[in-house]
Chain A
């Protein structure tokens, strides 16, 4: 077997080289996977036998990672957002919101933070929420003269909150794997999650002050109170009620996130009918739009999930973890090392694989360092959250790329995500200084 650092350099080098050469991301992964699988999973025999065996294994291995109900919120929320957009209902709603909010600078960015926080956290699906808000808000905000980062950043930032604030399937999974109290970990994420959302809002305000042109403070016509009531009743409440219904379905346990998303589509379709905005053309455009991004994202997952597996199979990722955690340092540097490892792995791996790999090593280590494991669990969740938007492979970035208007470059998306990643890092610092941010709420229940 290859030493872990050669394996790591070999696999990462290949995928980065293919990507920077300009191959489509999914093809870059698949190309690196084929070479890597033939080498590591090929077993014995001549080169052709090895390729057949390795690549065959690879393709079989990709099946379960794509055909999982966990991914279903992505196409469903995409479809919901696209129908909202193509029927013109979204435009109608945001025009009304603007008239009601009057002259607050950057108002739609705040709407995005509030909506994104509510939606991402309650649906529990980062990708689904990014897909919905991205297809809904970004085109509308661009049309109104917002700079792209004012639209893209908040969506990427709040998308990650999905796993911090309950309900969160990922937090439950982490608690199960690390043998923590599920309830305590879920509750522990609440305060840091909302503090983080608050930080986002403050940051947006700061951005508006520094660069007033980023969020145009154009004159909105003054409206009379009866008009306001009419706007609220006819242009906002019906659309909001679909979104609220989706959330209620999830919260009351009547449906899983994927199911509620499907009901959301149905709701928007019915609204479109009621407002006489549903045309054959808008339907076709909606399905085409959802299909485009779904397929793009699924093919990347097809490639990246098996790349994750290859990193694990070759011993590259476990070698990296063992090496880095092998230093005997003080608790805080060790914490930062573990955090850094999660960020590095996060650039290339999906969250579930990362947890399976790191939990058996990190949590015993954290215990020996005297950390509170619930507090440590919250930090791990934060790292997982950030890894969703770390360049170059953060999945949310690609989803955003898929739904953003034509002409949006990946550079713009990377840059838009950076400040929000910074906030999350700051949050980790705050947690180190005041562990009670995470631990106070669960302590009430003990």
Chain B
């Protein structure tokens, strides 16, 4: 059986490399049963159109952060605001809930949460200032905006500028923006560390990259093919989590070696800071679910993903 697949990020990103490794692994184990053909990345279908391509059956399988289709499946914010690992979420039945929500709202299966456990930091060009309440005060800081964390940044009083990731380097160079949020890894790949010399601790949110599969196409697959695909992805959920944790430790050390300084919140400040972050993402999820008339999912997910 042949399956088509796509990824939303360019191939030089670590997350895409993980996905391509998963595909190779499935093809290896699935010899004679199932074979996945990767059609390409954002050059073939725009990154934000790919989830809909999987839903509508243009392509069978897509590797994508849930936030890209958060308006359709609000539940994905539970991954963004999670305090548990992908494995814990699966063990406690969270992944099953997530899968049900995907099937019901988006006509896809949610197969797994890949490269989980990588968190975000705010990185700044100048020394961060803290308010009287001990929380980071971004008044006067020009922060690169991103839909994932807009609400959180507003709470920190930042001045935001919307820029595609590809333009951030030149914007930083010229001082159009002087701060940006990014994951714990990959900052050096983007070369932003040349300008961003301060890291604000603690880290917040986690990456929500998953693999989704068109539901109609999934039902046509033989049970054998289904088993191979799903089992491989579940194994990689744990493997990629561990790999990324090692990367995080390595990259943070390398950044500090290159002279990145850390501005940490006080214990009390950190608690408030993270509460603001949580409030923003869980609040958005609650709002979107309420707009869909769903009043039960929020509490169930909160109990599992953010106990």
Give residues in A with beta carbon < 8 Å to B: 1, 41-44, 53-54, 56-57, 60-61, 63-65, 68-70, 124, 167, 169, 172-173, 175-179, 181-183, 250-256, 308-309, 312-313, 315, 318, 352-353, 356-357, 359-360
Residue contacts A-B, CB under 8 angstroms, 12 given: A43-B58, A53-B56, A54-B58, A57-B49, A63-B46, A176-B166, A176-B190, A253-B174, A308-B43, A312-B44, A313-B40, A357-B40
Count of chain A to chain B residue pairs whose CB atoms are closer than 8 Å in the complex: 104
Q: Does A60 contact B43, Cβ atoms closer than 8 Å?
A: no
A60 nearest in chain B by CB position: B49
C-alpha gap A282/B176 in the complex (Å): 34
9 closest A-B pairs by CB: A253-B174, A253-B175, A356-B43, A312-B44, A313-B44, A43-B57, A353-B43, A312-B43, A360-B11
Q: Does A309 contact B45, Cβ atoms closer than 8 Å?
A: yes
Q: Distance in Å from the Cβ of B47 to the closest Cβ of chain A?
A: 8
Give residues in B with beta carbon < 8 Å to A: 10-12, 37, 39-49, 52-53, 56-58, 162-164, 166-167, 169-171, 173-176, 189-191, 194
Q: Does A173 contact B174, Cβ atoms closer than 8 Å?
A: no
Cross-chain contact of B169 among A182, A313, A360 (Cβ < 8 A): A182
Cross-chain contact of B58 among A57, A175, A250 (Cβ < 8 A): A57
> A308-B43, A309-B46, A312-B44 known; A256 and B171 CB under 8 Å?
yes
Q: Does A56 contact B56, Cβ atoms closer than 8 Å?
A: yes
C-alpha gap A318/B39 in the complex (Å): 10
Hey, which chain B residues are within 8 Å of A169, CB to CB?
Answer: 166-167, 170
A173 nearest in chain B by CB position: B166
C-alpha gap A116/B163 in the complex (Å): 27
Q: Does A64 contact B49, Cβ atoms closer than 8 Å?
A: yes
Q: Does A179 contact B189, Cβ atoms closer than 8 Å?
A: yes
| Most-contacted residue by chain B among A44, A173, A308 (CB, 10 A) | A173
Q: Does B12 contact A57, Cβ atoms closer than 8 Å?
A: no
Cross-chain contact of A177 among B10, B49, B194 (Cβ < 8 A): B10
C-alpha gap A173/B167 in the complex (Å): 8
Hey, which chain B residues are within 8 Å of A68, CB to CB?
Answer: 164
Cross-chain contact of B40 among A53, A254, A318, A352 (Cβ < 8 A): A318
Hey, which chain B residues are within 8 Å of A250, CB to CB?
Answer: 174
Cross-chain contact of A179 among B12, B42, B47, B58 (Cβ < 8 A): B12
Q: Distance in Å from the Cβ of B55 to the closest Cβ of chain A?
A: 11
Extra contacts besides A182-B191, A256-B176, A309-B45 (12): CB < 8 Å: A57-B52, A61-B46, A64-B49, A70-B167, A176-B12, A253-B175, A312-B40, A312-B43, A353-B43, A356-B43, A357-B40, A360-B12
Hey, which chain B residues are within 8 Å of A179, CB to CB?
Answer: 12, 189
Hey, which chain A residues are within 8 Å of B175, CB to CB?
Answer: 253
Q: Does B57 contact A44, Cβ atoms closer than 8 Å?
A: yes
Hey, which chain A residues are within 8 Å of B174, CB to CB?
Answer: 167, 250-253
Q: Does A167 contact B170, Cβ atoms closer than 8 Å?
A: yes
Hey, which chain A residues are within 8 Å of B47, CB to CB?
Answer: 64
Hey, which chain A residues are within 8 Å of B171, CB to CB?
Answer: 256
Hey, which chain A residues are within 8 Å of B167, CB to CB?
Answer: 69-70, 169, 256
Hey, which chain B residues are within 8 Å of A356, CB to CB?
Answer: 10, 41-43
Q: Does B46 contact A64, Cβ atoms closer than 8 Å?
A: yes
Hey, which chain A residues are within 8 Å of B42, CB to CB?
Answer: 356
Hey, which chain A residues are within 8 Å of B39, CB to CB?
Answer: 313, 315
B175 nearest in chain A by CB position: A253
B16 nearest in chain A by CB position: A360
C-alpha gap A182/B164 in the complex (Å): 17
Q: Does A177 contact B40, Cβ atoms closer than 8 Å?
A: no
Q: Distance in Å from the Cβ of B12 to the closest Cβ of chain A?
A: 6
Hey, which chain B residues are within 8 Å of A176, CB to CB?
Answer: 12, 166, 169, 189-191
Q: Does A253 contact B44, Cβ atoms closer than 8 Å?
A: no
Q: Does A57 contact B166, Cβ atoms closer than 8 Å?
A: no
Hey, which chain A residues are within 8 Å of B58, CB to CB?
Answer: 41-43, 53-54, 57
B162 nearest in chain A by CB position: A69
> A60-B52, A309-B46, A356-B10 known; A69 and B164 CB under 8 Å?
yes
Hey, which chain B residues are within 8 Å of A313, CB to CB?
Answer: 39-40, 44-45
Hey, which chain A residues are within 8 Å of B43, CB to CB?
Answer: 308-309, 312, 352-353, 356-357
C-alpha gap A43/B52 in the complex (Å): 13
C-alpha gap A312/B39 in the complex (Å): 8
A64 nearest in chain B by CB position: B46
Hey, which chain A residues are within 8 Å of B189, CB to CB?
Answer: 176, 179
C-alpha gap A82/B42 in the complex (Å): 36
Hey, which chain A residues are within 8 Å of B49, CB to CB?
Answer: 57, 60-61, 63-64
Q: Does A255 contact B45, Cβ atoms closer than 8 Å?
A: no
Q: Distance in Å from the Cβ of A366 to the closest Cβ of chain B?
A: 15
Q: Distance in Å from the Cβ of A317 to the closest Cβ of chain B?
A: 8
Q: Distance in Å from the Cβ of A6 to the closest Cβ of chain B?
A: 16
> A41-B58, A167-B170 known; A61 and B11 CB under 8 Å?
no
Q: Distance in Å from the Cβ of A203 to the closest Cβ of chain B?
A: 31
Q: Distance in Å from the Cβ of A133 to the closest Cβ of chain B?
A: 22
Q: Distance in Å from the Cβ of B251 to the closest Cβ of chain A?
A: 15
Q: Does B12 contact A177, Cβ atoms closer than 8 Å?
A: yes
C-alpha gap A61/B171 in the complex (Å): 27
| Most-contacted residue by chain A among B37, B39, B44 (CB, 10 A) | B44
